[in-house]
Amino acid sequence: MDRDGAETAPCLRCGGTLDFEFTMAFQPIVDVFTGTVHAYEALVRGPGGESAASILDRVDDHNVYTFDQACRVRALELAHALGCDRTISINFLPNAVYAPRACIQATLAAAERLQWPSSQLMFEVIETEAVRDRRHLQNIVESYRAMGFVVALDDFGTGHANLDLLIDLRPDLIKIDRELIRDIPAAPRRQRLVDALVTLATALDIRLLAEGVETAAEAAWLRRRGIALQQGYYFARPGLEQLPVVDADRFAALN
């Protein structure tokens, strides 16, 4: 136990081995105001570049704890091997974390071994994960933030990541779902919704990140609304076991 009575022993449910292999692709998260890569999101893939779905379909109640831990460690090890010096963003499964401080031990050990700062780790609440216990998720978010990690709500505005989550949670960052971004320069209703999110995020001291940005027009509109952090095919597609470079002209086109 730590001084607050929280469980800090290694996660007993996270042991064992997986009967399948996987790797990671990395996609840049950029800051359009500075014209730089802010972070890279680690996305699970098959060893030959197979889709995330082909791997996630093999995750069940028996191996979810082991898989969740393996993903975190694999993302860190691969990013380190690639010479990454930016924040790494990793999806996490709330229902695979039964005790935040216990289930993070393998990640902490890997970060210490690789000399990876906790401030350069961002955990995203995965968009497809239905939260069975809202208080449990609140505990995870608060624990991770207390340990110096950045916490984000993924795909905000659709699926399970909806407005009511902000009643209980205090994330550092909200990722606006692609459905709200698509063709936004010509979609007044989407514009009103995103403008409302900008106002809400400012009031709650939460940063916004627009994901699924696919065109210069979308990126430029978001930039004019003050949304600096963006991610999507317009800037770069995910690179299998590599850190994609974002061309400078991607940023220049937005000015």
- pLDDT confidence tier of residue 116, bands split at 50, 70 and 90: very high
Boundaries of every domain in the chain: 12-252
The span from the CA of 29 to the CA of 90, in Å, is 12
pLDDT of residue 61: 82
pLDDT of residue 132: 59
Residues with catalytic roles: 211
pLDDT of residue 159: 57
Q: Residue 32: is its pLDDT beyond 60?
A: yes
- pLDDT confidence tier of residue 9, bands split at 50, 70 and 90: very low
Q: Residue 8: is its pLDDT beyond 70?
A: no
**H helix runs in the chain, sequence order:** 52-56, 64-81, 100-103, 105-114, 134-146, 165-168, 178-181, 188-204, 216-224, 248-252
Q: Residue 33: is its pLDDT beyond 80?
A: yes
Helix H, strand E, coil C: the string for 45-61 is: ECCCCCCHHHHHCCCCC
Q: Give the model confidence (pLDDT) of 217-239 as tens digits.
A: 999 999 999 999 999 999 999 99
Q: What is the mean pLDDT of residues 128-150?
A: 77
Q: What is the mean pLDDT of residues 34-56?
A: 96
pLDDT of residue 208: 97
Q: What is the mean pLDDT of residues 82-96?
A: 86
- pLDDT confidence tier of residue 68, bands split at 50, 70 and 90: confident
Q: At 199, list the tokens.
A: 């106002």
88 compared with 131, residue with greater pLDDT: 88
CATH pick for 12-252 out of 3.20.20.450, 3.10.150.10, 3.40.190.10, 3.40.50.450:
3.20.20.450
Q: Residue 120: is its pLDDT beyond 60?
A: yes
The span from the CA of 122 to the CA of 112, in Å, is 16
SS3 38: strand
Which of 51-55, 68-72, 123-127, 163-167 shows the highest mean pLDDT?
A: 51-55
